[in-house]
């Protein structure tokens, strides 16, 4: 039986993926900041719950070691933990800026570093990083979030070169709008009443997100794509998840900057 370690498995894409892989016969190391929130997994066979905060190096090491001790090996890593910070750059403190990058980028890299020695020893393994359509296109007031997801795309593509000769596969999954708690606990919006100049842009962003999120895909859709990515033996790097991801990413490739940004602006209009 193969084993996958998943970060951010308490809800949304992480939880759906944990259930999907478990149902397919894999062992699952389901990690989250608070394992008590993973009560839905307690009655499932071959699921190991573990505390892992991607900003806490000690918890990363303990979770990885615990997963290997429980199941003997780890075959795939899903870096799913993260959140979206939106708002005017001026409205974010340096602490909040660092928190966004520490979670979405540095934390992802630290978890990957913790698993790579095990993969190298085995001569195999798959690292799957959850990016976003927001890793190749941008929306207004998303300088922090898109900055992190563009970084995930870049670091993942670079890792593809260095890990492939070692028998380790690198995968990037790009979800579109998904029915998750991205608008809840996984979403942070900064708006400073002392910066009224940005208020019209915030209203426009609300209109844009409303239109884009009209028909979101279920998290199970992403879980199925992750399953394909984990089991694909080709050298494919990127996997899209959701029809809107297909449409928007195709449009970005086919249009120049002015045309694509112009389309986004049109969607922002009242």
Active site residues: 131, 145, 149
Q: Give the CA-trace dihedral at 135, 155, 73, 29, to 10 degrees.
A: -30
Separation CA 123–CA 163 (nearest Å): 10
**Where does 3-106 have alpha helices with state H?**
12-23, 57-71, 94-101
Number of H helices, E strands in the chain: 9, 9
**Where does 87-198 have alpha helices with state H?**
94-101, 107-122, 143-163
Taking alpha carbons only, the member of 82, 21, 8, 15 closest to residue 230 is: 21
Query: Hey, what are 47's tokens?
Result: 């699921």
The phi, psi pair for 54, rounded to 5°, reads -65, -15
| Cα of 106 vs its chain's centroid, Å | 13
Taking alpha carbons only, the member of 144, 156, 133 closest to residue 208 is: 133
């Amino acid at each position: 039986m193969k084993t996958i370690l998943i970060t951010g498995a308490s809800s949304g894409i992480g939880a759906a993926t944990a259930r999907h892989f478990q149902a397919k016969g894999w062992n699952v190391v389901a990690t989250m900041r608070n394992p008590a929130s993973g009560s839905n997994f307690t009655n499932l066979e071959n699921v190991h719950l573990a505390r892992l905060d991607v900003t806490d190096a000690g918890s990363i090491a303990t979770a990885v070691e615990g997963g290997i001790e429980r199941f003997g090996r780890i075959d795939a890593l899903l870096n799913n933990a993260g959140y979206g910070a939106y708002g005017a750059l001026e409205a974010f403190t340096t602490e909040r800026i660092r928190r966004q990058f520490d979670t979405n980028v540095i934390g992802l890299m630290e978890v990957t570093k913790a698993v790579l020695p095990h993969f190298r020893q085995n001569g195999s393994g798959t690292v799957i990083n959850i990016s976003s359509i927001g890793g190749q296109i941008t929306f207004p007031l998303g300088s922090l979030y898109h900055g992190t997801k563009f970084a995930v795309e870049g670091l993942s593509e670079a890792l593809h070169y260095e890990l492939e000769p070692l028998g380790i596969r690198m995968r990037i999954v790009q979800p579109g709008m998904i029915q998750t708690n991205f608008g809840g606990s996984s979403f942070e919006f900064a708006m400073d009443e002392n910066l009224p100049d940005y208020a019209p842009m915030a209203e426009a962003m609300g209109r844009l997100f409303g239109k884009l999120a009209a028909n979101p895909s279920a998290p199970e859709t992403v879980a199925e794509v992750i399953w394909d990515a984990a089991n694909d033996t080709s050298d494919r790097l990127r996997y899209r998840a959701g029809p809107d991801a297909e449409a928007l990413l195709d449009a970005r490739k086919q249009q120049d900057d002015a045309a694509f940004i112009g389309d986004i602006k049109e969607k922002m209009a009242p």
